[in-house]
Amino acid sequence: MTKRLKCRIAGRVQLVMFRDFTTRKARRLGLVGRVQNIKDGSVEVIAEGEEEKLKQLLVLLKKGPLLSRVDNVESFWEEATGEFSEFNIISDVEREK
């Protein structure tokens, strides 16, 4: 069943390759969506795909890449919208628009 997972990850998650880590893991799992830095220092992830694959991504997000420190992960499950065709990093410049 296709689902949507929305996460807000707090801790030392910016400037430690967290977005790149998330993108690589999500693509490897066959998921689509996006990841972006948030002004408060957290990272937001929206991913869609098979529920079991999303659960695997959630486990990975709770660990993060080597240089990160994940303090908290808020996660929300929703129905998939189908709005994404691939998994991408939203840059700070794109976010400002």
CA distance 13 to 18: 6
First to last CA, the chain: 33
CATH code, 34: 3.30.70.100
pTM of the model: 0.92
* Domain range for 29: 2-78
Active site positions, annotated: 19, 37
Mean confidence (pLDDT) of the chain? 94
Asked if pLDDT for residue 45 goes beyond 70, the answer is yes
Using the predicted structure, report yes or no on whether residue 95 has a pLDDT greater than 60. Answer: no
* Position 64 in a domain: yes
* Sequence-ordered list of residues with C-beta below 8 angstroms from that of 94, at least 6 positions apart, any chain: 36
5-27 pLDDT tens trace = 999 999 999 999 999 999 999 99
Task: For residue 75, give the amino acid letter.
Answer: S
Is residue 70 in a domain?
Answer: yes
CB 2 within 8 A of CB 80: yes
Amino acid at 55: K
Token pair listed for 81: 């919208």
Number of domains in the chain: 1
